[in-house]
Structure formats: C-alpha cells, structure tokens
Amino acid sequence: MQNSVQSRPTNREASSRRTFLKWLGASSAISLLPTSTPQASSGKPPTRIPTATGEIFSDQMGITSVHEHIPLPSNPAQREKSLAFAIDELKKAKTLGLQTIIDVGPTEDVVGIREVAQATGVNVVCCTGFYVLKDDQQSMTVEDFETHMRRQIEEGIQGTQIRPGVIKVATRRLPITPAEKNLFIAAARIQQRYHLPICTHAVSGCAEQQRILEAAGADLTHCYFSHIEATFGWEGRSVEQEIDYLQAVVEKGSTLSFNNFGNWNHTKPEDLALIIRELTNRGYDDRMVVTIDFTWSMENGNIKILWGDTNADGNDRTYSYPIRKVVPWLKEQGIPNRSITRFMKDNPERLFTW
C-alpha cells in the first residue's frame, strides 16, 4: 500500500470537486479549473507525495488545506473520542469537496492519523519537524534537528512506513532564539536533500524566518508562513504597513497561509479582507492559501475546539469551514473565483510539486 500510487480521480472525487465549485458559484466545472491548473505547477510533471495511506501524485491533491491538525491524546478513551470527532468532521468536509489536508502538528500517533485517513478517504499528509521548542529542546544543534527529521523521512514515523511529506518549524516570538535558528537551518538543509515544503508557525517575524531559510539555502517558493495575519504579531505595524511587509515575503516567492477566518478576535475581518484583496490586486494571488488550522484539546473528557469559546463562529470553525463559510466570504470581499481556486487548489499543488 505504502509504495503504491493511488489511481486517478474517481467519479466520487470528481463529484466532490463539483460540490466545491457549487460553493464557488461557478457556472460549470470546466470553465473554472482547466484555466488555472496548468499554471499551478509551472508545467512540471506531478510529484509523488507520501500520505498516511500511501503515495499520491501532486495533481491528485485537489481542494487542499495545507495547515490543519488531527490531535490524538494518548489516553485511550480520549483518543477514541478524538478519532471519532476527526473522522466525523473530515467526512463532512469531504462531502463538500475537501480532498487533502496537511497535518502540520508533529504527531505521536501516526497510526491514529492513518485510521482517520482510511475511514474518511481524505488524503492526510503527515509532517516531520517541531512545533514551538520546549525548554529542554533549546540546546539542540542543527545536526540534532537534522538527524531527527532525516530518520523520519528515511525510516518512517514511529516504526511505520508512513513518511512525512512536509517539514514543520516554529518560532515563539522575536528575537528568534539560537535553537530556533538551528531548527530553521536544519529544515532548509533537509528540504534541499528531500524536496519537502516547509511550513512555519510565524505569528511574528515571517520575514526574519525567511531570511534564515534563504541564507541556509531553502527554496523559498516551497516555504509557507502561517498565522501571519494575527494582529498581535505585527509589532506595531498598521495594516497598510503589514501588507507591505508581507509583500516583501511573497515577492521572494513564498506563500502566506491564512487561518483567522471567523477568528475575528485575532484579526479584524476588514483587515483580513484588505490584506487578501490588496495582495490579490498586486498580483500575488498565486502566493496565498486558505486554511482553518482546526485543532482541539480535551477538557473534562469533552472535545474543546481551540478558540471555540471566544468567537461567535468558534465551534463552527471545523475542517469544512473554508468551503462552507470562507469561500462565500471571500466572494463578498470581491475576491474573484479564479483567485479563490488558486488559494484552495492550485497553490497547495504548486507548493508540493518539484
């Protein structure tokens, strides 16, 4: 299974793509997708991508969210609950057209992730790398980080044959610590060797992160920066200044990953709309992606969706939210269908095509 490549899209996949297009309000599937697809991977042949259930080709990713999570606690009862919840929510999203998610939470339960992928038919790409470093990881060297990632890529994650398809790295805040810098240098080296995209947790300082990656030889066109729209990470810049700051990052070829749709406590809706509209108008709709960063924890034995308690739309912000709510919202903000298709299909595909 692991070494086999999944077959070409089935009728069911084609029909879920039509469902997404229905949400887009496109008059016909044919009018929208073919015009944008060839440009997506710059005419490169499709790349093989490892997922939890075997390899797919990058042109089979379809509607994709490149920043999601499937958190699975180790406690057996809680794990069961989380598994059932993840399966349920992913199935709903799949019905609407979601075909692939990138799980950018370094997991301790890759077997559980495979179970979710098998039960839903959604392609789940796993990651290697690190979230915000813990205190005892602050002394790690470039070689330490490289060794960990190289092992997972070459040997599989947790004794399985499941290989990661993306590298996750994070910084907590500015200034970037020496260990965080080591992590980014290691990620750049691993990327050069294995050709995997790099996903960063940025909030603050994505340009600073990009400088480290660039100096270490990363291919910036295969790097994407997350949470860059969170206002508390702007270091005092106005939204207009922030747009210029972000433009400098996309000018170097990197991609911005937005996830605060409906999470208006972290970014005002008018600011998020302005950032996306302005960068689209300046010609960078091939450098943005839409995600929801869906995750949860367990509280008193119950699922607690992150930010679910602080937003009007909180508990509705699940895997299907981008298709159900973000697509119509983007259209209301004047973003053309063609750009929305890029955010949700072409740009993810390009990030994963080498």
Interface residues with Zn ion (CB under 5 A) are 293
Residue located via tokens 């599989």:
156
User: Dihedral of CA 308/311/313/318: which sign?
Assistant: negative
Residue closer to Zn ion by CB (options 69, 189) is 69
Instruction: Give the nearer residue to Zn ion in terms of CB position, either 293 or 346.
Output: 293
Query: Shortest distance, CB of residue 191 to Zn ion, whole angstroms?
Result: 19
Q: Considering the complex, what minimum distance in angstroms separates the CB of residue 259 from Zn ion? A: 7
DSSP letter string over 278-295? HHHHTT-GGGEEE-----
d(CA 179, CA 140): 6
Type of residue numbered 205? G
Distances (CA, A) of 152 to 100, 109, 167: 21, 13, 11
Closest separation in Å from C-beta 128 to Zn ion = 15
Q: Cβ-closest residue to Zn ion?
A: 293
Q: Which helix (H) or strand (E) holds 56?
A: strand 54-57
> For Zn ion, which is the closer residue by CB, 221 or 295?
295
Q: Please identify, using beta-carbon distances, which residue of 36 and 347 lies nearer to Zn ion.
A: 347
Q: Tell me whether residue 24 or residue 86 sits nearer to Zn ion (CB atom).
A: 86
What span, in angstroms and rounded, lies between the C-alpha atoms of 220 and 218? 6
What are the Cα distances from residue 218, in Å, to 24, 133, 189? 35, 21, 7
In the complex, minimum distance from the CB of residue 257 to Zn ion, in angstroms, rounded to a whole number = 9
From the CB of residue 238, how many other CB atoms can be counted at a distance below 10 Å? Answer: 10
Give me the least distance between CB of 168 and Zn ion, in Å please.
9
Write down the least CB distance from residue 307 to Zn ion, Å.
12
Question: Which tokens is 35 given?
Answer: 């015009």
User: How far apart are the C-alpha atoms of 65 and 291, rounded to whole Å?
Assistant: 5
Inter-residue contact 187 to 167 (CB < 8 Å): yes
Which one, 60 or 257, has the nearer CB to Zn ion?
257
DSSP H stretches of helix in 125-194? 142-155, 178-194
State in angstroms the smallest separation of the CB of 336 from Zn ion.
28
Which of 16/347 has CB closer to Zn ion? Answer: 347
